[in-house]
Chains A and B, each alone.
Chain A
């Protein structure tokens, strides 16, 4: 069965600084990988997804993520954070053979300081 680990429960970053959120997955074959963001009181918004091909994926709001099969990782990055990036970020994995089901990580809460 697939699983997702987000090692960092909480990250504080200064506005303008770079941000990297870690995500490790466990799955026997190539997974489908996603990053979602949830602002307070809001639903989930898809930032980016990886299905196949280029391992560096560009998303919305200036985010990117890199799929590293050897490390079973799909880390999310942003070069310069804005105060509006303060939110909860979820990594999720889906299986190609039962792609309807997403397994979510526990989430990482990002706080942006002035």
Chain B
């Protein structure tokens, strides 16, 4: 399975600022996704990162708040913009090479907004 490096692993940020999270994969993957896990909750899909085009966002998530880039098949970034304490969560990158593959998750970025 793919090996994911997600950075930073954790951060404490001031409200109103932005944080960019990086997801680097050791091999080319077809699908890349970003999930959010709020404290004590399950995972919710934010968006699918599409290479060379705009990300596909799930209901309740918008590009202005969570801009995503995917310049190639091994790298993606998620930015959490204009942060508020409600954005305090774990953000996880997930990848899959293709149909029949399992979904591999990064170790996550634990974000605290103060």
Contact = CB atoms under 8 A, between A and B. Distances in A.
Interface residues of B, number: 24
Contact of A42 (B43, B96, B99, B107): B107
Nearest to A98: B48
B99 A99 contact: yes
A36 interface: yes
B105 A90 contact: no
Contact of B42 (A34, A45, A49, A107): A107
Contacts of B110: 41
B88 to A, nearest CB: 15
Q: Is the interface of A mostly helix, strand, loop or mixed?
A: strand
A44 B37 CA distance: 11
A100 interface: yes
A46 B106 CA distance: 11
Contacts of A49: 102
Contacts of A42: 107-108
Contacts of A94: 103
26 contacts: A34-B102, A34-B103, A36-B105, A41-B110, A42-B107, A42-B108, A43-B92, A43-B105, A43-B108, A44-B92, A45-B105, A46-B102, A46-B103, A46-B105, A49-B102, A92-B43, A92-B103, A99-B96, A99-B99, A100-B31, A100-B33, A101-B58, A104-B43, A105-B42, A106-B41, A107-B42
Given A43-B6, A100-B48, 19 more contacts: A34-B102, A43-B106, A43-B107, A44-B43, A45-B105, A46-B1, A46-B105, A49-B102, A51-B100, A92-B43, A92-B103, A94-B103, A99-B96, A99-B99, A100-B96, A101-B45, A102-B94, A102-B103, A104-B42
